């Protein structure tokens, strides 16, 4: 067991603890930090105590939490979700650990603040307007006169595609009158039309930043979104030629410089439009699936790298991570009008397809589904690797024919 100790601010929507433990145990001992949300969660508490040290910060302010964590002697600190990033930054500052500054953590987790910072730096992005919480009707009416519909609506905080939808007209915008949540209204960007039907017109760049120097390790493609804007999975490497790749990395480099990111993994989402790439958002953490997808076709372990960067252990990359095929993580999402699952068949057939490593049913017949859960509302997840992109396209079609999902509709 290594002597490096990493404090992880755990969250209910973070990675499954055993997955994190298995992918980091060769480089770090984990200190699981649990807040008020886990006070009554005895199952999680028992599991985490088997996987490392547990520090309970329930009811503690940031100064008290830092004192409790300090007793566990951490060499670094991490959060794998946006929700815990500002608190991780506050604690890191008190303990002198490498992490985002509190100001940067706020910018990275507030879509409005992030848009403003990137705009000042001239980073290509959608046009946007920040709608403050409790905005009165007259302010929204004035904004409606200046918008081009349809446009996107996003809560300023949150992850997993929750609360993201399309505004078709001013009436839908005015429904935000007096709401307690701040939002960003932004341009609805068109798709490129030269991609195969099974690939979405956006991707992400996975980057390791050490002492402000960016190492871009993977380009992650996406499968088409389920309405309204729920993710259906990723594949590595993405479909991108050398010229496009250069534009994407230059865009990320500009964002890193503008935000003054020093030591972190970054997951930067970029839309591919007919007029060129536009930066959708930059996440100051390991992305939700790329670490798993890259591991299907490469020896690069991004979970371990995250711990090493947090602890100040040197890491080196010679360009993009070498891959031995195309790794994928495909998610089947229920339709918006679905209320519950009535039938789920074909799991064994899907598991037998060449290239499929695991088929995981997240819920089954009789269980409720709700599109408002965002990406987390998935019904089935399929993971594996194939030799090339052509084989991936063929496999996606076969999976769609093999898996039979039926729903009770509202």
Assign residue 244 the CATH number of its domain: 3.30.470.20
Same domain, 74 and 140: no
Rg for the chain, CA atoms, rounded = 21
Asked, for residue 293, whether it belongs to a domain, the answer is yes
Asked, for residue 121, whether it belongs to a domain, the answer is no
Asked, for residue 29, whether it belongs to a domain, the answer is yes
Same domain, 168 and 197: no
Same domain, 238 and 354: no
Asked, for residue 117, whether it belongs to a domain, the answer is no
Last residue of a domain, one of 299, 318, 337: 318
Of 304, 330, 303, the closest CA to residue 384 belongs to 330
For the chain, the domain total comes to: 4
Same domain, 208 and 313: yes
Same domain, 272 and 156: no
Which residues of the chain are under the pLDDT cut of 70?
A: 1, 160
Same domain, 18 and 64: yes
User: Are the CB atoms for 208 and 309 separated by under 8 Å?
Assistant: yes
Same domain, 132 and 16: no
Same domain, 241 and 157: no
Integer Cα distance of 4 and 311 in angstroms: 7
Same domain, 248 and 284: yes
Asked, for residue 207, whether it belongs to a domain, the answer is yes
Same domain, 196 and 158: no
Domain harbouring 78, CATH code: 3.40.50.20
Last residue of a domain, one of 318, 344, 359: 318
> Longest Cα pair distance anywhere in the chain, in angstroms?
62
Last residue of a domain, one of 285, 318, 351: 318
Same domain, 84 and 152: no
| Domain carrying residue 376 | 325-410
Asked, for residue 295, whether it belongs to a domain, the answer is yes
What is the model's pLDDT at position 156?
93
Asked, for residue 112, whether it belongs to a domain, the answer is no
Asked, for residue 113, whether it belongs to a domain, the answer is no
Question: Strand, coil or helix: what is 277?
Answer: strand
The residue length of the chain stands at 410
Tokens representing 352?
């037998």
User: Are the CB atoms for 184 and 154 separated by under 8 Å?
Assistant: yes
Domain harbouring 150, CATH code: 3.30.1490.20
Domain harbouring 380, CATH code: 3.90.1170.50
b/e per residue 87-114 (b: at least 16 CB within 10 A): bbbbbbbebebbbbebebbbbbbbbbbb
Please report which residue ranges of 72-164 form alpha helices under DSSP H: 85-95, 102-109, 111-120, 137-144
Which phi-psi region, left, alpha or beta, contains residue 178 (left: φ > 0; alpha: ψ -120 to 50)? left
Which phi-psi region, left, alpha or beta, contains residue 331 (left: φ > 0; alpha: ψ -120 to 50)? beta
Same domain, 267 and 306: yes
């Amino acid at each position: 067991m290594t002597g490096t100790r990493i404090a992880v601010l755990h969250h209910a929507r973070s990675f499954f603890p055993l997955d994190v433990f298995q992918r980091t145990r060769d480089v770090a001992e984990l200190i699981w930090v649990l807040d008020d949300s886990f006070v009554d969660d005895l199952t999680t508490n028992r599991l985490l105590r088997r996987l490392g040290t547990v520090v309970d910060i329930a009811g503690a302010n940031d100064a008290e939490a830092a004192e409790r964590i300090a007793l566990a002697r951490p060499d670094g600190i991490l959060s794998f979700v946006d929700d815990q990033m500002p608190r991780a930054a506050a604690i890191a500052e008190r303990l002198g650990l490498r992490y985002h500054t509190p100001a940067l953590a706020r910018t990275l987790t507030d879509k409005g603040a992030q848009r403003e910072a990137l705009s000042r730096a001239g980073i290509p992005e959608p046009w946007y307007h920040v709608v403050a919480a409790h905005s009165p009707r007259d302010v929204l009416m004035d904004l409606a006169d200046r918008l081009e519909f349809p446009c996107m609506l996003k809560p300023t905080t949150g992850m997993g595609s929750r609360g993201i939808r399309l505004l078709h007209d001013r009436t839908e915008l005015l429904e935000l009158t007096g709401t307690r949540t701040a939002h960003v209204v932004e341009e609805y960007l068109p798709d490129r039309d030269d991609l195969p039907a099974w690939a979405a017109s956006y991707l992400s760049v996975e980057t390791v930043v050490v002492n402000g120097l960016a190492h871009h390790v993977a380009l992650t493609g996406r499968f088409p979104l389920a309405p309204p804007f729920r993710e259906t999975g990723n594949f590595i490497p993405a479909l991108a030629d050398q010229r496009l790749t250069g534009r994407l990395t230059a865009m990320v480099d500009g964002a890193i410089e503008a935000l003054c990111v020093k030591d972190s993994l970054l997951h930067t989402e970029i839309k591919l439009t007919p007029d060129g790439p536009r930066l959708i958002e930059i996440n100051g953490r390991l992305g939700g699936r790329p670490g798993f997808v890259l591991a299907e076709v490469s020896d690069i372990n991004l979970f371990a790298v995250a711990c090493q960067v947090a602890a100040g252990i040197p890491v080196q990359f010679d360009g993009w991570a070498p891959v031995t095929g195309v790794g994928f993580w495909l998610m089947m999402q229920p339709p918006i009008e679905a209320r519950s699952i009535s039938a789920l068949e074909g799991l064994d057939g899907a598991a037998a397809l060449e290239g499929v490593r695991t088929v995981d049913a997240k819920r089954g017949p009789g269980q409720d589904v709700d599109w408002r859960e965002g990406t987390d509302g998935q019904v089935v997840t399929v993971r594996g690797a194939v030799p090339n992109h052509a084989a991936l396209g063929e496999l996606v079609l076969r999976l769609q024919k093999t898996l039979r999902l039926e729903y009770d509709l509202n």
